[in-house]
């Protein structure tokens, strides 16, 4: 469904601040895979997301979604089949527009926009039905401006907007990190429900190790633009946070010592 082949991206090339964000990264997801991505700051997690979404065009390598090469396709064209939820609850919705208008915008992701009304009676019923699945009572506040919602409500709405048109790929970019623990749990549960319901192929970046273990069927750990550790469904089920941390330290330590060996 999704494959990144030898993707390479460098920032500030040729300057003091040169940084290789993705170092010949190769990753492939089958239909219905739910992969959680962990790694320290600057490991290249966000760059991966931005490369898949089309915000960044890689210097080398190929991005293929559903058998179609999209490496150089612009973000808004790719958005037809890539849904995304950002860390900032404010980022995924238009604050001065109503809930139903926001949903109408998301609904138009897959079809060209015309001069027909964005919110029709039929669509409103559909939106209501969809909002009910969030169990937040938003279906009774269709005409409330989204700016008035709480962060958790906005993030739940963003999640719904990103998924209800069943995108081929769903990108979750630390989408619970900016919420308080109870709201974060709510969004985590909703994510599980929604991904399962639509069988979405999902890539989720998170800083929360427990979340990375709880959700999804695969786990990858990134460092310095590469995948340094990967666990499949069976291995993941047995993993604990302690193992994950020690694994991380072991691999990093090895790398450091080998670097030292070269330099020394």
Partner 1 sequence: MFTAIFGSVESGIIYAIMALGVYLSFRILDFPDLTVDGSFVTGAAVSAILIVSGVNPYLATLASLVAGFLAGCITGILHTKGKINALLSGILMMIALYSINLRIMGKSNVPLLQESTVITSLTDFWQKLGIDQGISNLFSSIGLSNYIPKTWAILLFMVIVTFVIKFVIDRFLKTEIGLALRATGDNKNMIHSFSANTDNYTILGLGLSNALVAFSGGLIAQYNGFSDIGMGIGMIIIGLASVIIGEAIFGTKTIARTTLAVIGGAIIYRIVVSIALRIRFLETGDVKLITAVIVILALVLPKVLDARKEKKRKKIRLKEREEIRTSRVGREHNA
Residue appearing with tokens 């081929």: 168
As a whole number of angstroms, the distance between CA 104 and CA 111 comes to: 11
Write out the DSSP string of 118-138: SS-HHHHHHHHHHHHTTTSSG
Q: Which of 6, 12, 68, 95 binds partner 1 (CB under 8 A)?
A: 95
By CB under 8 A, tell whether 108 contacts partner 1. Answer: yes
By CB under 8 A, tell whether 172 contacts partner 1. Answer: no
By CB under 8 A, tell whether 92 contacts partner 1. Answer: yes
- CB nearer to partner 1: pick between 187 and 221: 187
Residue appearing with tokens 């999640």: 159
Give the pairing of strands 201-205 and 19-29.
Answer: unpaired
- The C-alpha angle 199, 205, 206, rounded to 5 degrees, equals 115
By CB under 8 A, tell whether 32 contacts partner 1. Answer: no
Q: What is the closest distance, in whole angstroms, from the C-beta atom of residue 153 to partner 1 in the complex?
A: 16
Size of the site for partner 1 (CB under 8 A): 31
Instruction: Report yes or no: 60 and 20 within 8 Å, Cβ to Cβ.
Output: no
- CB nearer to partner 1: pick between 99 and 219: 99
Q: Which of 1, 10, 20, 97 binds partner 1 (CB under 8 A)?
A: 97
With a CB cutoff of 8 Å and minimum separation 6, the contacts of 142 are: 98, 99, 100, 124, 127, 128, 131
By CB under 8 A, tell whether 84 contacts partner 1. Answer: yes
- CB nearer to partner 1: pick between 117 and 261: 117
Q: How many CA atoms lie within 13 A of 18 on its CB side?
A: 6
Crossing angle for the helix pair 151-163 and 181-198, to the nearest 10 degrees:
10
- CB nearer to partner 1: pick between 92 and 216: 92
| Chain residues 42-81 in contact with partner 1, contact rule CB under 8 A | 53, 75-80
Helix (H, G, I), strand (E, B) or coil at 63: strand
Q: Which of 131, 160, 161, 215 binds partner 1 (CB under 8 A)?
A: 161
The stretch near partner 1 (CB under 8 A) out of 90-98, 130-138, 225-233, 254-262 is 90-98
Cα-based distances in Å from 85 to 44, 53, 174, 202? 18, 11, 8, 11
The stretch near partner 1 (CB under 8 A) out of 107-115, 132-140, 198-206, 230-238 is 107-115
- CB nearer to partner 1: pick between 34 and 86: 86
Q: What is the closest distance, in whole angstroms, from the C-beta atom of residue 113 to partner 1 in the complex?
A: 4
The two structure tokens encoding residue 24: 């010949």
Widest CA span in the chain: 72
By CB under 8 A, tell whether 144 contacts partner 1. Answer: no
Q: What is the closest distance, in whole angstroms, from the C-beta atom of residue 245 to partner 1 in the complex?
A: 33
Other CB atoms within a 10 A radius of the CB of residue 79 amount to: 17
Q: What is the closest distance, in whole angstroms, from the C-beta atom of residue 151 to partner 1 in the complex?
A: 15
Q: Which positions lie near partner 1, rule CB under 8 A?
A: 53, 75-80, 84, 90-97, 101, 104-106, 108-110, 113-119, 161
């Amino acid at each position: 469904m999704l494959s990144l082949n030898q993707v390479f991206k460098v920032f500030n090339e040729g300057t003091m601040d040169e940084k290789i964000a993705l170092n010949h990264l190769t990753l492939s997801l089958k239909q219905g895979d739910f992969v959680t991505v962990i790694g320290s700051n600057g490991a290249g997690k966000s760059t991966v997301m931005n490369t898949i979404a089309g915000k960044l065009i890689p210097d080398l390598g190929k991005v293929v979604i559903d058998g179609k090469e999209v490496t150089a396709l612009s973000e808004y064209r790719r958005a037809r089949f890539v849904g995304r939820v950002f860390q900032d609850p404010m980022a995924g919705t238009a604050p001065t527009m109503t809930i139903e208008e926001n949903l109408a915008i998301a609904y138009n992701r897959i079809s060209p926009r015309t001069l027909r009304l964005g919110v029709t009676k039929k669509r409103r019923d559909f939106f209501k039905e969809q909002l009910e699945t969030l169990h937040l009572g938003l279906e009774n506040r269709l005409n409330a401006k989204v700016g008035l919602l709480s962060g958790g409500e906005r993030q739940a709405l963003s999640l719904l907007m990103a998924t209800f048109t069943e995108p081929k790929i769903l990108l979750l970019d630390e989408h619970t990190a900016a919420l308080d623990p109870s709201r974060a749990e709510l969004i985590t549960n909703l994510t599980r429900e929604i991904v399962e319901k639509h069988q979405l192929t999902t890539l989720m970046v998170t800083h929360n190790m427990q979340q990375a273990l709880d959700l999804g069927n695969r786990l990858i750990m990134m460092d310095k633009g590469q995948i340094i550790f990967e666990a499949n469904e069976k291995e993941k089920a047995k993993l604990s946070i302690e193992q994950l941390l020690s694994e991380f330290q072991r691999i990093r330590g090895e790398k450091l010592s080998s670097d030292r060996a070269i330099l020394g």
